[in-house]
């Protein structure tokens, strides 16, 4: 039976899934952790560590001989190569916020509306364009050595093709998260690039953007798909349809939906990304998701299961206790220097209220992002899918259902990004998207009243406005 491999190279680990080409059935899998990426605001790694993790995960999966392979990777990260195709410095990852000042500088040069129109998104610290500016400003000696620039998934796909002088390719989904590629026009924006460095010859520095079903090379006789960003692969794994909404709670929090036309949001809340199929994927990302649950479980001296059980014994709205969950700064809203704040605490509050406030704070931030996507004219009236580690918590599922007033679905596949990459590999091999994708189940129905959910969300919005002015 022909096999396909989907690779998910995330912030913390690499996952490999081997699937049957025809049925999509999981045959084997493997996982290997990445080294620590540092302490905020720094988040860096040696790109060669991704290769080592891939090799380890592949070995765990039985070192199969597939017919096709595709790589999904964490978005935005900056990988730099010199003229000898050697890594210049450690990759700056999406959650490295040292480039916050550079993102502001970029925006100040042209204004929010200009950026939204040109590249679909207003730069924040996570975007690659801000990291380019940081590198040129802070490390001019390294900047002078840079000959080629790529993203994490581009680097791994290039490695599969043999590295060295081989072509580096990317795809429209991941390219749309750089801040210098236009989803609307489908090409790099030279005005943006020259803003970063007008003296650099950009013509050979950036990856070629492959088409969605393109075969970009071979690895061990297997066809290599073009790969994509992790959020785009997640949409592929779900089989997301117009109207559907995906809410992911993992290292970061994301909410996204499918759009048939490009979006631009001058407020900078919504990133107007492309997807991996030829459509578009407007997305909102937050820095603080499940780590908030980890931190508060530790504070409350309980494990995550107990933390969730505690939260469900409090009432919707956590008895008017509000957490602004910005432990390590925040991307949306753009508050890179913010820290978490517990607001409204009084002598009547108990541990369960704190637990519920922690979950509600994370979810409210993401639902504000969903509202911003809807305000861009995107249909978000369909199903809600909850993804990531947070989706394993009954409490999180219930609180999402309560705060949205809608049924919440979770997926029966634990590695949705790897599944999406496997679907892309199959499509590259056959020339058409496979019919298989993740199956789902109902995880929660709303039990809070509309008045309760509206009050909780309003309390959160009011606290954020009063504290941070946004």
Catalytic residue numbers?
A: 230
| Alpha carbon distance 436, 136 (integer Å) | 45
Residue 407 · residue 367 · CB < 8 Å: no
Output DSSP code: residue 432: S
∠ CA 399-364-461, rounded to 5°: 135
Burial class (CB in 10 A: 0-12, 13-18, 19+), 362: buried
Instruction: Enumerate the β-bridge partners of residue 79.
Output: 150
Helix (H, G, I), strand (E, B) or coil at 424: helix
Q: How far is CA 110 from CA 104, 116, 123, 131, 317, in A?
A: 10, 10, 11, 17, 41
Residue among 240, 247, 264, 460 nearest 369 (CA)? 247
Output DSSP code: residue 464: H
Q: Determine which helix (DSSP H) or strand (DSSP E) holds 68, and give its type and residue range.
A: strand 68-73
Token digits of residue 324: 């602004």
| Alpha carbon distance 424, 73 (integer Å) | 13
Burial class (CB in 10 A: 0-12, 13-18, 19+), 264: buried
**Cβ within 8 Å of residue 393, ≥6 positions away:** 293, 304, 308
Tell whether the torsion through CA atoms of 103, 108, 113 and 117 is positive or negative.
negative
Instruction: Enumerate the β-bridge partners of residue 286.
Output: 253
| Alpha carbon distance 171, 179 (integer Å) | 14
Burial class (CB in 10 A: 0-12, 13-18, 19+), 183: buried
Token digits of residue 128: 């690659």
Q: How many CB atoms lie within 10 A of CB 108?
A: 9
């Amino acid at each position: 039976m022909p096999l396909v491999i989907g690779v998910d190279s995330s912030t913390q680990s690499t996952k490999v899934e081997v699937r049957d080409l025809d049925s999509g059935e999981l045959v084997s899998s493997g996982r290997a952790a990445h080294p620590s990426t540092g302490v905020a605001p720094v988040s860096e790694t040696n790109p060669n560590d991704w290769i080592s993790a891939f090799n380890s995960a592949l070995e765990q999966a039985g070192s199969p001989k597939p017919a096709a392979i595709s790589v999904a990777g964490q978005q935005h990260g900056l990988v730099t190569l010199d003229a000898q195709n050697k890594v210049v410095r450690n990759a700056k990852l999406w959650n490295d916020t040292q480039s916050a000042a550079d993102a502001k500088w970029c925006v100040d040069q042209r204004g929010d509306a200009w950026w939204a129109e040109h590249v679909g998104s207003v730069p924040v610290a996570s975007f690659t364009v801000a990291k380019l500016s940081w590198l040129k400003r802070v490390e001019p000696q390294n900047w002078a050595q840079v000959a080629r620039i790529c993203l994490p998934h581009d680097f791994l796909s290039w490695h599969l093709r043999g590295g060295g002088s081989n072509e580096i390719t990317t795809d429209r989904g991941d390219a749309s998260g750089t801040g210098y590629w236009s989803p609307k026009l489908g090409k790099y924006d030279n005005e943006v690039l020259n803003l970063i460095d007008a003296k650099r010859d950009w013509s050979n520095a950036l990856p070629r953007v492959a088409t969605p079903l393109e075969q970009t090379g071979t690895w061990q006789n297997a066809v290599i798909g073009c790969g994509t960003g992790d959020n785009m692969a997640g949409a592929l794994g779900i089989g997301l349809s117009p109207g559907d909404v995906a809410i992911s709670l993992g290292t970061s929090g994301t909410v996204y939906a499918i759009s048939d036309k490009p979006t631009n949001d001058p407020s900078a809340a919504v990133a107007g990304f492309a997807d991996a199929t030829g459509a578009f994927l407007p997305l909102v990302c937050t820095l603080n998701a499940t780590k908030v649950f980890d931190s508060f479980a530790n504070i409350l001296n309980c494990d995550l299961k107990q933390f969730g059980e505690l939260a469900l014994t409090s009432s919707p709205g956590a008895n008017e206790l509000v957490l602004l969950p910005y432990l390590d700064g925040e991307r949306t809203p753009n508050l890179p220097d913010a820290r978490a704040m517990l607001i409204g605490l009084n002598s009547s509050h108990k541990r369960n209220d704190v637990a519920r406030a922690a979950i509600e704070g994370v979810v409210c931030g993401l639902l504000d992002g969903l509202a911003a996507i809807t305000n861009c004219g995107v249909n978000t009236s369909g199903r809600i899918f909850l993804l990531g580690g947070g989706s394993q918590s009954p409490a999180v599922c219930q609180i999402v259902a309560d705060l949205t007033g809608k049924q919440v679905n979770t997926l029966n596949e634990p590695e949705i990004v790897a599944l999406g990459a496997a679907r892309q590999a199959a499509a590259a091999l056959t020339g058409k998207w496979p019919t298989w994708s993740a199956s789902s189940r109902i995880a929660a129905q709303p039990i809070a009243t509309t008045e309760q959910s509206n009050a909780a969300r309003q309390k959160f919005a009011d606290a954020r406005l009063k504290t941070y002015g946004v």
